[in-house]
Amino acid sequence: MTSRFSNSFARLIGVVLAFTLLSGACSSSEPNPELTAALAALKEAEKALEAHEAALEELAATPVTTTPVTTTPATTTPVTTTPVTTTPATTTEAPEEPPCPPILPVPDEAIINASVFSDLDGDGIDEEVFTWILPGGDHWHLRVIDGVDQAGHQISDSHGVYLSEILGVLYIDDDTIQELFVTVTGGAYTTAFGVFQYHDCEIIRTTTVDGPPAVWHFGASISNVLQVVCDPEMPFIRTYTATISESSDDGYPLIWSVHMTREGLWESQWEPVGMSAGGDYEADGPEPPISGDLDCGFE
């Protein structure tokens, strides 16, 4: 606005000066019709400029009516904060068991037998289990690898045993802990095994009622046959022992006598359990009526 006004004013001054000069020129000479017309035009222009200037001045004087900005207060819609209902996570899983106490890893130089993978402790996850011995070592060891945990056990009656290995696993009794069959002390013609269990970070050797580790033998010699059978229905292990009760004059067997014993498992202990109908019998013939094997139906 101000600069526009100044420009108009400057132009007006210019016109007035020209007019004054022209008027002077005109008054000192004879009237010239062309000059008279020009003067008239200039007067008109001057008038127009004056009117324009007046309009500008009026405009400048007009108070600027600042339309008040009606600040509509922001209607603050109250934010209804829905309370976050933190539903506690329903923990359906069993509380995590504390880790097992750490044990030394199996030495690098150890001789390690084939692993068996099975859910020994009934938690739904397979463990790895194997036997190992140090070169020239005295005893065999069992090792269970249960995720990040490990458990170890020295097989007490494996001294001098050529090979201790896992025969198999199965459920002898009616619980979730599997029974682990492992060859232990050896014999002249028999294979001996013990039964182990793994749970709560521990490898347990099952025992007899008297306390020492329970052990079974199977195998055969000329005159003795030992067979071990796991009862598929009951928590029993039966041992059949066949011996020659009568021989011919030249030494061939005529009658075999079979004696049966059985032990039942309660937790980690084996107790002798008799049979009402006995279990002993005799069989004729030169061949033994049983075979010297382990019949436990391992998978």
Judged by the rule CB under 5 A, the positions of this chain that interact with Ca ion are 119, 121, 123, 125, 127, 173, 175, 177
Which residue type, as a one-letter code, is found at position 123?
D
Q: Which residue number, 46 or 128, has a Cβ lying nearer to Ca ion?
A: 128
Q: Which residue number, 168 or 253, has a Cβ lying nearer to Ca ion?
A: 168
In whole angstroms, what is the distance from residue 97 CA to residue 197 CA?
A: 18
In whole angstroms, what is the distance from residue 86 CA to residue 277 CA?
A: 66
Q: Which residue number, 196 or 240, has a Cβ lying nearer to Ca ion?
A: 196
Q: Which residue number, 95 or 135, has a Cβ lying nearer to Ca ion?
A: 95
Q: Which of 129, 180, 182, 189 is nearest to 158 (CA)?
A: 182
In whole angstroms, what is the distance from residue 36 CA to residue 155 CA?
A: 142
Which two structure tokens, joined as six digits, stand for 233? 């229905």
CB 125 → Ca ion: shortest distance, Å?
4
In whole angstroms, what is the distance from residue 298 CA to residue 181 CA?
A: 10
Q: Which residue number, 173 or 246, has a Cβ lying nearer to Ca ion?
A: 173
Q: What angle do CA 156, 157, 161 make, to 5 degrees?
A: 120
Q: Is 112 left (phi over 0), alpha (psi -120 to 50) or beta?
A: beta
CB 121 → Ca ion: shortest distance, Å?
4
CB 173 → Ca ion: shortest distance, Å?
5
CB 97 → Ca ion: shortest distance, Å?
11
CB 278 → Ca ion: shortest distance, Å?
28
